[in-house]
Amino acid sequence: MTHISVKAVRAGLAAALVLLACAAPARAGGGHSAEDSWLMLTVGRARTPSTAEGGTMLRCDPPRGHRRAAEACAELAAVDGRIADIPAKDLVCPMIFAPVTAHASGRWRGRPVDYTETFSNTCMLTARTGSVFALDTR
């Protein structure tokens, strides 16, 4: 007859618990689901954001809902969803005053996002926000 000590049983149970804990799938994004990253984007003429039919919904996992979704999501990921922190592009923009207002609201990795800024023209909008507000269908 085989005799198993209590210490051996405890060690075996502890090892089994460690293996089970390691095998459990981890959630990406620090506990937030991928669907926690979405933005409703609008661009309007002058100093007020457009309200035409609700704008464009950008979702980032997988990138969709936007003509340049993959680029926009990569730019947002690089700055943890803070649109104002997107590095300025090196563009030569005309000195034409045709103001546009960009607005984004939604969530980035579970954190609320509310961004509104007016730019002197669409070139400056692109230079400062990259692909995020590239909403036209041309």
**Where exactly are the structural domains of the chain?**
30-129
First to last CA, the chain: 82
Q: Is 111 or 35 the better-scoring residue by pLDDT? A: 111
pLDDT of residue 50: 57
What is the dotted CATH code of the domain comprising 30-129?
3.30.350.10
Q: Are 104 and 71 in contact (CB under 8 A)?
A: no
Average pLDDT, the chain: 79
Query: Is the pLDDT assigned to residue 118 strictly greater than 50?
Result: yes
Torsion of CA 52, 87, 84, 99, to 10 degrees: -50
Contacts of 81 (CB under 8 A, 6+ apart): 37, 108, 109, 111, 113
Strand runs labelled E in the chain: 38-45, 56-60, 63-64, 100-108, 111-119
Say if residue 62 is preceded by a cis peptide, omega within 30 of 0.
Answer: yes
pTM metric for this prediction: 0.70
pLDDT of residue 11: 54
Q: Are 121 and 93 in contact (CB under 8 A)?
A: yes
